[in-house]
Amino acid sequence: MKFFQVFICVQVISYTMGFSLNPWASNNLPDILNFPVFENIELRAPYRNCSKDTLGVMKRVEVIPCPSLERCPLVKSSTVTLNLEFIPSFAATKVVGSLAGIIKPYLPAVSFDNPEDLCASKQVECPLTPGKLYRYTTSVFIKPQFPNLRLDAKVQVYGDKYEIACAIIPVEIVKPSMSTLSA
């Protein structure tokens, strides 16, 4: 959503200042608009924080591949990679990452994988240091027997049984198209 807001803002400014802006051309902004805010815009997976009760912050969520800004397609019989960045607010000694699907808010979440011990797998250096940025990467195979449906993926990082960071990612499980089969 922020990308579209910035893009629309730049388009309106370009129109009122009397120049044409091609968003796919490299660095064609006038000097007045050529500052770092517009140089480093990245498209990432759409996500929102799960709760206000976390003892840390989810700083970044990236789903690869995710060509959409609204809902990430999870193609059956393929592997999806999640890159997460989080900052804990306490020194946890045991850290676990998990991924689950939420079909309906009143139904229990369906686990995509088993919870992963991030300390044992060397994903993070334990104990965690409060205020330090950590990166966690996991890959999930989308099983062919999963039904085609829209749902929310819930990714959580727990430390010593307390939730450090949590994000909800809108996803859709889809069957492979002819273009993905030939790739």
Across the 183 residues of the chain, what is the mean pLDDT of every consecutive 10-residue run?
36 35 38 32 65 87 87 94 94 94 81 86 94 94 92 93 93 78 44
Q: What is the pLDDT of residue 86?
A: 95
Q: Which pTM value belongs to this model?
A: 0.69
Q: What string of DSSP letters covers 12-29?
A: HHHHHHT----TTSSS-S
Question: Where exactly are the structural domains of the chain?
Answer: 2-39, 48-182
Q: What is the pLDDT of residue 7?
A: 33
Residue closest to 153 by CA, chosen among 137, 175, 170, 166: 170
Q: What is the pLDDT of residue 78?
A: 95
Q: What is the pLDDT of residue 108?
A: 76
Residue closest to 164 by CA, chosen among 45, 51, 82, 60: 51
Q: What is the CATH number of domain 48-182?
A: 2.60.40.770
Q: What is the pLDDT of residue 29?
A: 37
Each residue's pLDDT tens digit, 101-137: 998 877 777 887 778 999 999 999 999 999 999 999 9
